[in-house]
Amino acid sequence: MFIVFTCIKLVEFRLEKRKERRNIKMSNSKEPTVAQKKLGNFAPKLVQLTDDVLFGDVWARKELSPRDRSLITVASLLTGGNTEQLKSHLNLAKQNGLLEEELIEAMTHLAFYAGWPKAMSAMMVARDVFSQEK
């Protein structure tokens, strides 16, 4: 029992250190996270998993840079036709160091692999996101 407790505490400690290192707002933060703002009390477990596991653990892993994770995420969202999530991830991609030109080029490239309509839809979201910043 002691070994299990120790392992749990070690995992919790490592997760907290990752959160601190990446300065990611978690579900127990005072300011609401994006997931908390969008889903609030409607889907609290999904919000908690989004904040603590997806952004608190997966995005904090050192094996890929935040820039690479953003490029992969944008590509995956385009490929799946998930433009609802694309707006926030395009903004995050820019925060993580990707240039508009790089994102546009990636989406153009993906048109030939994911399909023209998906790329066009994603590009329209990107146009709106990028034009709001200027």
The CATH number of the domain holding residue 112 is 1.20.1290.10
Residue 10: what pLDDT? 54
Query: What is d(CA 90, CA 126) in angstroms, rounded to the nearest whole number?
Result: 7
**133: CB partners within 8 A, 6+ apart:** 94
Residue 25: what pLDDT? 45
Does the pLDDT at position 107 exceed 70? yes
Same domain? 42 vs 104: no
Same domain? 9 vs 41: yes
Q: Quickly state the pLDDT bin for 14 (edges 50, 70, 90).
A: low
* Average pLDDT of every residue of the chain: 86
Same domain? 37 vs 70: no
Q: Quickly state the pLDDT bin for 15 (edges 50, 70, 90).
A: low
Same domain? 130 vs 91: yes
Same domain? 8 vs 56: yes
Residues spanned by the domain of 105: 65-134
Q: What is the pTM of this model?
A: 0.75
Residue 30: what pLDDT? 78
Greater confidence, 77 or 11? 77
Same domain? 81 vs 45: no
Same domain? 3 vs 57: yes
| pLDDT tens digits, one per residue of 60-81 | 999 999 999 999 999 999 999 9
The mean pLDDT of 10-31, rounded to a whole number, is: 55
How many domains are there within the chain? 2
Joined together, the tokens standing for residue 113 give: 């692999």
Same domain? 56 vs 87: no
